[in-house]
Structure 1
C-alpha cells in the first residue's frame, strides 16, 4: 500500500498496543514499524532503474527481514521507555505483528513482494487491491487523525483504533471476495470466447475494487480487457497485443532486459517507438484503458535509452486524467 496508509495503520496498531501506557508515543512506534520495510526506496540512490525495481519490496519485505528487525526495535523501545511494565516479549510481539502486517497487505497489490528472499526470488502478489485504494485507506486515516486530536485519557480512543483497524480488515476481506467472483466470471468468459492462455491475472483498475483489469495469453501475446462486478453480460471486449519477442534478438543478453523480464513475471510486450525499443509490463494496466482499448501501458521502459527511465512505474499511472476520465471510469464501473 501507499506510505500514508502504512503510517496511519501503524499508528492505530501502536495505540492499540500501548496507548494508555505510552500515550501518543505508542502511535509513533507503530507508524515507524509499519514504515520500516519501505526503507528499500533508498536503493534508487545507487542502483540503476531495473535493479531498483527488483530491490523494491524485495528483502525488506521478507519474513527473514521481519525476524531480524523485530528484536532490534523491541530492544530499542524497551530500553528507551524504562522504567515501564511492558515486557520484552510484548514488545517483540508488537513489532513483529506490525511489520508482518505491512509485508502481508503489500502482497495483495500487483507489484509483488519477496516474502522468501534471499532464499527464493519468487514474488508473491495476490492482485486483490489497488496500491492506493482510498476505500481501504480512509478508515485508518480518519482514525489516526482522531487519535492525534483526542487527549490521552479520552475513552473514545479505543473505539477509534478499533474502527481504523477493523474496517480496513473488513474492506480487505471484501476485496478478496470480489477477486474470487471476478476470477470465476473471467474463467467462464475465457471458455465462452475461446480465449486460450497459459497464464492470466486479474487486478483492480485504479482507486477502487469494482472494475477489474484482465490479462490472459502466452508467449505469443496477450488479451487485455476490463470486467466490472456490475457487468450483466458475460463477455469482455478484449484487445490483443503481440508480445513481439523477435524485436529483442539484438539485445536479448542485456542484463537490463533480463531483470525486466524477471520483474514482469512474463507479462510483457515489446514495441518499436521511433528509434528505441519499449518494454511494457502489462501488470500495471493501461493508461485509461477502459476508455481507450488501444491505450499505452502504464509501465513502459526505454530499452535503448535507460537514462530516461527514472519513474517507470509512476509516470503513466494517471497520465492524461481529467474530469472526463473520472466520469468514464464511474460509467464503466456501473457495468455494461
Structure 2
C-alpha cells in the first residue's frame, strides 16, 4: 500500500488498541502504544531509501528483506525498545504486542497488491502478490479517513474501528470475487490463455489484463466482466547471441527480469549503438508501456548505459539514458 494508507491504518490500529485494558488504564502506555503502531505501520517501507541509490537495487530489494519473517520479528523489538527508552513507565509487553501487530498488518496488506512482498523469506524468496488491491485504493483510504473522523467526533474508537475492519473484510472478499470473475472472462475471451495477469486500478470495476497463448501476448482492460483487447504481439524466442548475452549481464536488465513475469523484447540499432529493450506488458497506460528496461551497447557489446523503471515518454527515457538517436 502507499504511505498515506499505511499511516491511516496505523492510526486506526491505535484506536483498536483502546480495547486493551493495559493501554486505556495507563496514559503513558497509551501514548507509547499509539506511537508504536504508527511507527510500526511505516517501518517496513524504510527500504524506500534504496531508490536514492538506483532503480535496479530498489526493484530487486523493495519489500524484500524488510518485509521478511525475521524483519516482522525484529521491527517490533526495535520499536518497542526504542519507545521504552522514552516511556520507561509504559507496559513493555503490550507495547511490543501492538507494535508487532502494526508491523504484521503492514506486511500482510502489501501481499494483496500486484507488486507483492517476499513475506516468506528466508523460507522462500518467491514474491507473494495476490493482485486484488491497487497500491492506492481510494475506497480503503477513504473508509479509514471516515472512521477516524467519526472517532474524532466522539464515537467509541473500539467499536468504530471494529466496524471498519469488518467492512474491509467484505471489501477484500468482493475484490477476490471480481478478480476471479475477470480471470474466467479472460479465459473465455482468449482461448488457450496462460499466465493470465489481472491487476487492479484505482477504479473498482476497471482492471488491467495481460495473458499469453502459445503464439501471442495479449494486453487489454476489463470493465467488470467485459474484456477489451488493445494490443496483440507475436511471441518471439529471445536470441542467444553475443549481443543478448552481454545485455543480460546488465544490472538493470537483471533487476527487471527478476520482477516482471510477462514482457516482450526489442533490439534496435542506432548508428554505432545497439539497444536492447524489455517491455513489461502488465501496466499499459494511455497506449504506452511505462515499465521498461533498456540497455545500450557498442559494436563490441560493451555496455554504454542502461535504465530500468517507470518512464511515460520516449523523451524522458532518452534524457535518463543521456542518449540520442541522431
Q: Equivalent residue for 2:60?
A: 54
Rounded to whole Å, the distance in 2 between the matches of 1:119 and 1:25 is 33
Instruction: Give the counterpart of 2:43 among 33, 36, 39.
Output: 36
Does the 8 Å contact 1:110/1:127 carry over to 2?
yes
Does residue 1:67 correspond to 2:66, yes or no? no
Q: CA deviation at 1:99?
A: 1.1
Rounded to whole Å, the distance in 1 between the matches of 2:156 and 2:57 is 47
Does residue 1:254 correspond to 2:254, yes or no? no
Rounded to whole Å, the distance in 2 between the matches of 1:296 and 1:237 is 14
Does the 8 Å contact 1:64/1:116 carry over to 2?
no
Rounded to whole Å, the distance in 2 between the matches of 1:11 and 1:128 is 24
Does the 8 Å contact 2:112/2:129 carry over to 1?
yes
Q: CA deviation at 1:63?
A: 1.8
Does the 8 Å contact 1:178/1:209 carry over to 2?
no
Give secondary structure in 2 for the equivalent of 1:109. Answer: coil
Q: CA deviation at 1:158?
A: 3.4
After superposition, the C-alpha distances for 1:202-250 in whole angstroms (9 at most, x for unaligned) are 112x21231222211158541112222253xxx6435212454547841
Does the 8 Å contact 1:242/1:269 carry over to 2?
no
Rounded to whole Å, the distance in 2 between the matches of 1:57 and 1:131 is 13
Q: CA deviation at 1:32?
A: 1.0
Q: Equivalent residue for 1:286?
A: 284
- Alpha-carbon spacing, 1:13–1:34, altered in 2? closer, same or farther (3 Å): same
- Alpha-carbon spacing, 1:245–1:112, altered in 2? closer, same or farther (3 Å): farther
Instruction: Give the counterpart of 2:117 among 103, 113, 125.
Output: 113
Tell me how large the CA RMSD over aligned residues is: 2.9
Does the 8 Å contact 1:213/1:225 carry over to 2?
yes
Does residue 1:200 correspond to 2:204, yes or no? no
Does the 8 Å contact 1:13/1:161 carry over to 2?
yes
Instruction: Give the counterpart of 1:215 among 210, 214, 217.
Output: 210
Give secondary structure in 2 for the equivalent of 1:167. Answer: helix
Structure 1: where are the runs of 5+ without partners?
289-294, 318-336
Rounded to whole Å, the distance in 2 between the matches of 1:158 and 1:38 is 27
Rounded to whole Å, the distance in 2 between the matches of 1:248 and 1:261 is 16
Does residue 1:263 correspond to 2:259, yes or no? yes
Q: CA deviation at 1:308?
A: 5.4
TM-score normalised by structure 1 residue count = 0.75
Q: Equivalent residue for 1:328?
A: none
TM-score normalised by structure 2 residue count = 0.78
Rounded to whole Å, the distance in 2 between the matches of 1:280 and 1:14 is 42
Q: CA deviation at 1:124?
A: 0.7
Aligned residues: 291
Does the 8 Å contact 1:211/1:228 carry over to 2?
yes
